[in-house]
Amino acid sequence: MQSGRNKQSGHTLIETLLALAIVALLATAGIQSWQQLMRSQRRAEGKTALLALMQQQERHFSRYGRYQPFDSAAPGAFKWYSGATPTDSAYALSAVACAGETVARCVKVVAQPGGAGVRSGFADPACGTLTLDSRGRQQADGGVASCW
């Protein structure tokens, strides 16, 4: 003999909302991890570009006895972006004289995140602008040791 109750299968509203909350929490953590990974990869792109640019500056110094300043407006023979193309690049590159020095004796190559001509939406709040000078000093605006 069956009871008068009708057995229903399925989930209650509270169970469904709890499952959605867990999915949203996991998605948020995943997105943050993905963004951190992308920032880290773009930072590696900037550091690699600075090292290659400093090597090019050293070759220029060996040939002409001085370093060469440049920026995106007048790059000359130097690559002013960090990636394969300007629109794919996370950093705009330039070279200036070291503080208190002439460019003939010391040059500082600079990787500025985002900006005109490169991926404008990119920002690196932890490290900011990366620099490398001809004396081997590596710096970052954020001052975080892990930036280099």
Q: Where are the domains of the chain?
A: 13-147
> pTM for the complete prediction?
0.79
14 phi/psi in degrees, rounded to 5: -65, -40
Q: Which CATH number fits the domain 13-147, given the four candidates 3.90.930, 1.20.120, 3.30.70, 3.30.700?
A: 3.30.700
3-state secondary structure of 116: coil
Strand order in the sheet with 91-97: 91-97, 107-113, 130-133, 138-140
26-77 pLDDT per residue, tens: 988 888 888 889 889 999 999 999 999 999 999 999 999 999 999 999 989 9
* Cβ-based neighbour number of residue 29 at 10 Å: 10
**Cβ(81)–Cβ(45) under 8 Å?**
no
| Residue 24: band (very low, low, confident or very high) from pLDDT cuts 50, 70, 90 | very high
Place of tokens 């710096």: 139
